[in-house]
């Protein structure tokens, strides 16, 4: 357990760095749907234009948020704004977003799919009718964290049930799993 506690502490520290930011964070959906739609080229365009303009932003590859039709889907967390999801982000749109949003503060609403958090400016992507028919439990963080980063997963509660089950009696674990219908 001691190693888990240290990992969890480090994960929470890193997640604070993710929230308290001075520079933009750009999340790019690179699940199979995003890659098939050109997410790798979009990511390369963001990297290129940021370097050209001497701007600092963190680029994070994430899984699918559930709007595969809108890929390549990009979420930009810019200080002073909610996280904003953009649909069908081509390399050209990536360049325009850096120039207009990151440099000039204009979020380019014509490319917006929705926000990723509650706010007074833009409806969230989770308000779409598509999400009203499902309760996202296992997938609630898809598209918002890097699936290859253990610390990001731990910071959002990943493995909590597993760790709890290790300290519980086997009969209790079996009963809980049986009652859950798994």
List the beta bridge partners of residue 115.
84, 124
Give the pLDDT confidence score for residue 101 in this predicted structure: 97
Rounded to two decimals, the pTM is: 0.76
- 24-29 and 57-62 beta bridge pairing: parallel
pLDDT in tens, the chain (182 residues): 578 788 778 777 776 655 656 789 999 999 999 999 999 999 999 999 999 999 999 999 988 878 888 999 999 999 989 999 999 999 999 999 999 999 999 999 999 999 988 999 899 887 777 666 766 666 666 666 766 776 777 777 777 777 788 788 888 888 888 888 76
Q: What whole-number distance in Å separates Cα of residue 89 and Cα of residue 110?
A: 12
Q: Which residues contact 103 (CB under 8 A, 6 or more apart)?
A: 53, 55
Secondary structure (3-state) at 11: helix
pLDDT recorded at residue 141 = 66
Which domains, ranges and CATH numbers included, belong to the chain? 2-163 (3.40.30.10)
- Taking alpha carbons only, the member of 101, 120, 119 closest to residue 23 is 101
pLDDT of amino acid 174: 85
Beta bridge partners of 28: 61, 74
């Amino acid at each position: 357990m001691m190693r888990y506690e240290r990992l969890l502490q480090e994960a929470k520290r890193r997640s604070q760095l993710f929230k308290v930011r001075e520079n933009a964070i750009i999340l790019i959906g690179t699940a199979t749907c995003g890659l098939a739609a050109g997410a790798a080229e979009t990511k390369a365009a963001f990297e290129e234009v940021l370097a050209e303009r001497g701007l600092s932003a963190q680029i994070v590859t994430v899984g699918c948020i559930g709007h595969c039709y809108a890929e390549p889907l990009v979420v930009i967390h810019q200080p002073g704004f909610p996280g904003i999801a953009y649909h069908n982000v081509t390399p050209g749109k990536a360049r325009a977003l850096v120039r207009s949003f990151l440099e000039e503060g204009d979020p380019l609403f014509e490319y917006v799919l929705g926000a990723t958090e509650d706010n007074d400016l833009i409806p969230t992507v989770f308000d779409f009718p598509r999400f009203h028919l499902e309760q996202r439990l296992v997938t609630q963080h898809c598209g918002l964290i890097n699936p290859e980063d253990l610390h990001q997963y731990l910071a959002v509660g990943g493995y909590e049930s597993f760790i709890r089950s290790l300290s519980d009696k086997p009969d209790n674990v079996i009963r809980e799993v049986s009652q859950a219908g798994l």
